[in-house]
A and B are shown apart, each in its own frame.
Chain A
Amino acid sequence: MAQVIVSKNLRKRFGRIQALRGISFSVSKGSATALLGPNGAGKTTTMKILLGLLKPDSGKVEVFGINPWENGDRIRSIVGVLHEKPIYPEWVSVRQLIRYAAKLRGLGEMDERRAIKLSGLEEYADARVSSLSRGYLQRLGIALAILGDPELLLLDEPTANLDPAARMEILHLISLLKEELDVTVLISSHIIPELEMVCDSAVFINEGLVLDQGGLDELARKHNSSAIVVIKTRRPRKLASMLIEREYVKSVEISREEVKVEVIPGELPTLELEISRLDSEYGVDEIKSTLGRLQDLYWKVVGVAKAEAS
């Protein structure tokens, strides 16, 4: 598969702080990749280098085969970005700001209206940016990022400051863009279960180094990571005895009307498929992943690295 982002041995220092110590990773076209790591791992620095806002000290980076520092404007015309802590000009209205960004991309009013609609900003389109709440500022960031159907979305904490309903809307929007428009997404967030909803691969970084990367299934197998699913059912014992016989199930626990199932790496979709098939027979009311693959992987990859370092 074609690589949209290629980073090789990328280094960046800010004074005494070595933010990146030789980051190497790649992102395939059409994928949704989670960029995961603790605070100060180098996620935001990496995103800014990919946009051509920061110049790497050494190493090689290419986005769509273009060097971001040399030809940043070419990259930014096909990349939508949402920064972690964006600050927008406050003296203009939402519509004026989106119109300005649309014009810079050579887009017209249609695109401007579509971005406002998709991000749920219709009600506030004529409000001043200074009057927006944090949640609506985040929506404004999303509107600016999706202007003109970008080929790559760089999203740094896209659901920060949003209420649960708005979070789900934004995640749904990202999934929609990825599926329908074949947009490649690189997304960084601290809310790992949310990332699992949209991402199919991950890059784990810590202290400016890539610890591991790859497809989620591949990583789950490699790190022997399992997913834990809680199923609320009216017949917990019957469901548990059925599931324990399945090859993909590691263990089953029953508590009141809940069955806690540990699934072996990469088999979560199989369980979900089987449960949906047997839904009526076992009276399943709710399924929720308490500890998803990605979260488990995060602790296995980043947690172990941090523990070793300390």
Chain B
Amino acid sequence: MKLHLEFVLSRYLPLYAFVAFLAVIINAYLVIPSILNQIVASSTYSSPFGTSGPYTGTISISLTLAHLIFSLVSISLAASMAGELRSTSLFHLSQPLRRIEYSVSWLLSIAWLPSLLMALSLFVPLATFDPRLVLRVSFQPIYLRLVEDLLTFSIFCWAALSKRRGIVAFIGLFFVLILPYLTMVLMSLIFYVFYQGTNPPTLLLAAYEVLFPSTASTLFMGGIAQGVLDPMKASIGTLITLALTQGTYLIYFIRKFEVK
């Protein structure tokens, strides 16, 4: 796996480096004041070892920006994979390279690396703080964004199997920009039109919280709707869905994918 991953990364490393640098700069500008506010707030309201503060406004903006930037990276990588599956995969898979190595290296490049770099770009500004102060900050929003993006980016790997860049771009932009918000609007419509605002569609809401734990916690916190699951509990469902998405992608690639 190492060799093919190195080969893929040697092409996309400048892109990763540029985007990570950009994200770190943006996050430093946005996160540092936010963290300082959280530290001050947590010192005022809770115990010295409390882990959550009430101020999360700026970190949400920062997370959303980092999420958008790295979503574009992931979509672009998935489109590259789709292009490769139509062309140079014949060369790669004619070498003594196991299918698992090939598919895992793309999974790492499309899903894991952008997600981890996104999280890292938020943590880097924290390196400027005293670790004792940093430990007082809530990392829940970053964690929720990380698992949501891992799931979304893993879906892009599935889209890449279509071998069409256009499909990848459409699914990518749809999942990042439209679906999380469109689903919320549709659920609100169902709630008011079919249930006259009395009986909330709990199953749909729970599914939404599992698929988009970070978006849901931001929207629900803003009072747009009432969540039915604790965000951390919802994230367990996200992790299970993530394992299923990545597992089925790998199984499909190893057992079924043909190089035509």
Residues of A within 8 A of B (CB): 14, 48, 51, 53-55, 72-74, 76-77, 81, 83, 86-89, 91, 100-101, 103-105, 144
Contact = CB atoms under 8 A, between A and B. Distances in A.
B96 A105 contact: yes
A51 B91 contact: no
B97 A73 contact: yes
B94 A87 contact: no
B90 A83 contact: yes
Interface residues of B, number: 19
Interface in B109-127: none
Interface in B72-100: 87-88, 90-91, 93-99
Given A73-B96, A73-B97, A83-B94, A103 B3 contact: yes
A53 B93 contact: yes
**Would you call the interface of chain A mostly helix, strand, loop, or mixed?**
mixed
Interface of B: 3-4, 7, 11, 87-88, 90-91, 93-99, 256, 258-260
Contact of B91 (A48, A72, A88): A88
- List 8 tightest A-B contacts by C-beta distance, closest first: A77-B96, A53-B259, A87-B87, A76-B96, A73-B98, A104-B95, A73-B96, A54-B258
10 contacts: A48-B260, A51-B94, A53-B94, A55-B256, A55-B258, A72-B93, A73-B97, A81-B94, A88-B88, A104-B95
A87 B90 contact: yes
B96 A91 contact: no
Contacts of B99: 72-73
Contacts of B98: 73
Nearest to B84: A89
Contacts of A105: 95-96
Contacts of A55: 256, 258
Contacts of B256: 55
Nearest to B96: A77
Contact of B259 (A48, A89, A100, A104): A48
Contacts of A144: 91
Given A54-B260, A91-B11, A104 B97 contact: yes
B95 A101 contact: yes
B132 to A, nearest CB: 46
Given A51-B94, A87-B90, A104-B3, 14 more contacts: A14-B260, A53-B93, A53-B259, A54-B259, A55-B258, A76-B96, A87-B87, A87-B91, A89-B91, A91-B11, A100-B3, A101-B95, A104-B4, A105-B96
A201 B91 CA distance: 28
A279 B260 CA distance: 52
Nearest to B8: A89
A136 to B, nearest CB: 16
A53 B90 contact: yes
B3 A86 contact: no
A55, A81, A89, A91: residue with the most chain B Cβ atoms closer than 10 Å: A89
Contacts of B260: 14, 48, 54
Contact of B88 (A72, A73, A89, A101): A89
Contacts of A91: 11
B90 A86 contact: yes
B97 to A, nearest CB: 6
Contact of B258 (A53, A77, A86): A53
Contact of A104 (B90, B96, B258): B96
Contacts of A101: 95
